[in-house]
Structure 1
Amino acid sequence: MDDLSLRAATPADLDAVLAFWKVAAEGTSISDDGDGVARLVERDPDALILAEREGALVGTVIAGFDGWRCHLYRLAVHPDQRRRGVGGALLAAAGERFVALGGRRADAMVLDRNTSAHHAWRAAGYEAEPQWSRWVKHLTG
């Protein structure tokens, strides 16, 4: 894990992130475009966290905070890097960000059909809330 580095995305990273999501994420969404991601990075420069190995993008997570709740989106790990601690490191960094911002609860958008990701969420301490189709982790107390 020493060769894994985490950092906030910059505007220069946006094209690479969008291309990465086509390979590593479980599909694209309506907000997966340059303008949408640029707005995110402009509004909250620390929200999009990148994981890199040897200069290559291997993982992402969006750790958004609206002043009340913490929200996780786009946890994606390159298929060749899965089960190597990338997802856990990204979720830990997101959790640290949330605690520093005063967040007390985090929820995640996780597709029900993405069962291979459910293990990572459970390992990071998240629990499924089926009535809401989301995964939640209480950060304090």
Structure 2
Amino acid sequence: MGVSIRAATAAEREATVTLWEAAGLTRPWNDPRSDFDLALATPTSTILLAEAQNQPIGSVMVGFDGHRGWVYYLATSPDRRGQGIGRALMAAAEDWLKALGSPKIQLMVRGDNASARGFYNALGYELQDVVTIGKRF
């Protein structure tokens, strides 16, 4: 595959956000640059980058809240999908969380995103009987 995975640096913010935008992950109500900065500033979160030939081709934001691990912004460059990069990033995210002592991992997927749900199902993730409740500030 010729891909390596490592922690992102602050200097890679714009390239990472561009990747998230190309993958269709950003939404107008979330500021991806602030999300990136906060993940790198917090000791219990990080952004892992997959790269090939010094170019970012995938990413995942991962964090541990003290009770469970969370995954956000799993992205693979559209022209590199189907090559195992997402699987490798999820494995790296799981390893990172296990090293922090996280007993489980969770993520949120939009209900109508059948391809993402299929991807996670193929990795052994199961639909959980929970309801997400939130409030915007």
Larger strand share, 1 or 2 = 1
The alignment covers a number of residue pairs equal to: 132
Tell me which residue corresponds to 1:91.
90
Structure 1 residues 117 and 40: CA distance shift in structure 2, 3 A: same
Name stretches of at least 5 consecutive residues in structure 1 with no aligned partner: 134-141
TM-score by length of 2: 0.86
Tell me which residue corresponds to 2:65.
66
Matched to 1:8, the amino acid is A
Structure 1 residues 3-82: aligned runs within 5 Å: 3-28=2-27, 30-44=29-43, 47-82=46-81
Alpha-carbon separation, structure 2, partners of 1:36 and 1:89: 22
RMSD: 1.9
Alpha-carbon separation, structure 1, partners of 2:109 and 2:83: 20
Q: SS where residue 28 of structure 1 aligns?
A: coil
Q: Which runs of structure 1 show a deviation greater than 4 angstroms over 4 or more consecutive aligned residues?
A: none
Q: SS where residue 50 of structure 2 aligns?
A: strand
Structure 1 residues 59 and 29: CA distance shift in structure 2, 3 A: farther
- How far apart are 1:130 and its partner, in Å? 5.0
The answer to whether the Cα contact below 8 Å between 1:26 and 1:114 also exists between their aligned partners in 2 is no
The answer to whether the Cα contact below 8 Å between 1:8 and 1:45 also exists between their aligned partners in 2 is no
Name stretches of at least 5 consecutive residues in structure 2 with no aligned partner: 133-137
Q: SS where residue 127 of structure 2 aligns?
A: strand
